[in-house]
Structure 1
Amino acid sequence: MKSIIIHPSYFPSISHYIAMVNAGAVTLEMEDNFQKQTNRNRMYIYSPNGIQLLNIPIKHSKAAHQRIQDVKLETAFDWQKQHFKSLEAAYRTSPFFEYFEDDLMPIFTTKHTFLMDLNLQTMELVSKCLGMDFNYTSTTEYFHEVPNHEDLRHLINGKKDATQLEHYTQVFGEKHGFINNLSILDLLFNEGRYAKDYLKRQTL
C-alpha cells in the first residue's frame, strides 16, 4: 500500500480520511508555515441552513511567516462552546451523534495552547471512533517534493480538493440536497459504524 503525506487539520475533511484509511503509511506535515483560509483551523458542517463554517480563532504573529507548530489558539473567545452548540444544532437528530458525543467531548473541554496539539487530538479521537489506528510519522524538515510518498498536502485547501463522494444520507439532505466532502464528523454522525467501510469504497 502507498505511503502518503498530508496536513493535520481540525476535524479533517472526509477526503483526508479516505487517504488515511487506504494508505500503508501516513506522514503528517509538521514543518510548513500557517496559511489563512485553509482547513488547518476550520471545518465545514451541514447545519439546518446548509453548509456552515466553524473557524478556530488564532493568535496572529507579526512575522511574515509563522510555522504551523508555533500557532497559538486565541483564548479570548469561547469558540469551543460555540462550536459544540453548532454541532448540536446540526447533528442532534442524526443517528450517531449521541453515540459518539462523550468520546469527542475532550475537544470542547480541553484547553490547548497550540493549534497543532488540538488538531492531533481531533484526528486521534475521530480515528478511534472510526475503528482506525492513528499511526503516523512526522516531518522534521519541509520539502517541496517528498520522494516515495503520494503528496496529498493540497487536501488542506478545500478549494483545491476535487474529491467527489458517493452520496450518503445527511440530516438535512431532503431540504438542501447532498453536500460533498464536509468534515469527517458529518460522515461519522450519519453513518456511525458503517463510516469506515464507506471510506474504503471511495477514491481520491
Structure 2
Amino acid sequence: MPAVLSELPYHPPIAFFSQLLGADALWLEAHEHYRKQTYRNRCLILTAQGQQPLTVPVVDGNRSEKVAISALEIDYRQNWIHRHWRTLQTAYGGSPYFEYYADYLHDIYQQKPALLFDLNLQFLRFYLRCLRLRVPLHLTTTYLPAAADPSLLPPDLLDCRDHLTPKAQTSPEPDRTSGRPYPQTFGKDFVPGLSILDLLFMQGPAAGSFLA
C-alpha cells in the first residue's frame, strides 16, 4: 500500500487509523495553513447527550487561517484542559479502560506544549503505540498542493488530507470507515466517526483489532 499523506488531527477519529492499515508510512502535512472547523483542533466523543465536540482554542483565532499549522499556538488563557478532562471523566470514567490510559493522557496535557501541532503529535505517537501500528512517521518539508489529478503527486503517496471532517457526521452516506462496531457507553445504536479515545476506553489493548 502507498504511504499516506494526512493532516494532523487532535485525538484523531478511528477512521484515521483505519486508513493506516497496511500503509508503508504516514506523512503529516506540516506546512499547510491552519483550517477552522476541522479535526486539526477538534475531536468528537460520545456522552449521555450524544456526540460532543472538544475543541482546542488557538491564539488569535480570527486570523489563525493565515498561520502555518506547525506554528499555530494554543490559547492557554482559556481553561480548556480542565474542561476537556472533566468532560472525558464524565463520559468515560465508568468505561472498562479509562483508568488504564488516563495517566498517560493526563501527563501529555500537563506538559502544555505551546503549539497545537506538537500537542497533536504527542497524542498521535501515543495512539500508534497503543494500537501497535508500526507505521514510519514523517513530516513534510514543503507544502504539497492538493491536486485534482492524483498523477501530480508522487506515485507512492495517497493524499488523504481532509478526507475526514466533523461536517461529514451529518452526511447520510459517509465516505469513510469507522472500523468494526463495538459496545459503546451510551445508546443502543453504534455511533461511528468518533475519536480513537472512544474505542480505546472501551476495548483497551484489543482496540487495534477493531480498525478493519
TM-score normalized by structure 1? 0.90
Q: CA deviation at 1:106?
A: 1.8
Structure 1 runs of 4+ with >6 Å offset? none
Matched AA of 1:123: L
Task: Give the length in aligned residue pairs.
Answer: 198
8 Å contact 1:100–1:129 — kept in the other structure? no
**Change in CA separation of 1:33 and 1:156 when aligned onto 2, cut-off 3 Å:** farther
Partner residue of 2:176 out of 157, 163, 178: 163
Tell which deviates more after alignment, 156-165 or 43-52: 156-165
Letter of the aligned partner of 2:132 in structure 1?
G
Distance 1:25 1:164 in 2: 19
Q: In structure 2, what is the equivalent of residue 29 of structure 1? A: 29
Tell me if 1:97 matches 2:109.
no
Equivalence for 2:150? none
Question: For residues 143 and 177 of structure 2, what CA distance do their matches in structure 1 show?
Answer: 29
Counterpart-to-counterpart distance in 1, 2:138 and 2:88:
30
Match of 1:191 in 2: 203
Letter in 2 for 1:192: G
Q: Which amino acid aligns with 1:155?
A: H
Alignment of 1:76-115 (within 5 A): 76-115=77-116
Matched residue SS, 1:122: helix
Deviation at 1:164, TM superposition (A): 3.7
CA distance in 2, matches of 1:37, 1:157: 8
SS state at 1:142 partner: coil
Task: Spell out, residue by residue over 1:6-42, the C-alpha distance to the aligned partner (whole angstroms, 9 max, x if none).
Answer: 1111110111111123311111111111011001001
Matched residue SS, 2:45 = strand
What residue in structure 2 maps to residue 147 of structure 1?
Answer: 154
The structural deviation recorded for 1:133 is 3.2
TM-score by length of 2: 0.87
Is contact 1:170-1:190 (8 Å) kept? Answer: yes
1:87 shift after superposition:
0.6
Give the stretch that moved more between structures: 14-23 or 67-76.
14-23
Superposition map of 1:120-131 within 5 A: 120-131=121-132
Which residue pairs with 2:70 in the alignment? Answer: 69
| 2:171 counterpart residue number | none
Distance 1:93 1:103 in 2: 17
Unaligned ranges ≥5, structure 1: none
Show the 5 A alignment for 1:169-180.
169-174=183-188, 177-180=189-192
Q: Distance in 1 between the 2:35 and 2:6 partners?
A: 15
Give the gaps of 5 or more residues in structure 2: 148-152, 169-173
Q: Is the CA contact 1:5–1:27 (under 8 Å) kept in the aligned structure 2?
A: yes
Q: Alignment RMSD, CA only?
A: 1.8
The alignment partner of 2:162 has SS state of helix
Q: Distance in 1 between matches of 2:125 and 2:16?
A: 13
Q: Distance in 1 between matches of 2:190 and 2:210?
A: 16
Structure 1 contact 48–89 (Cα < 8 Å) conserved: no
CA distance in 2, matches of 1:159, 1:142: 24
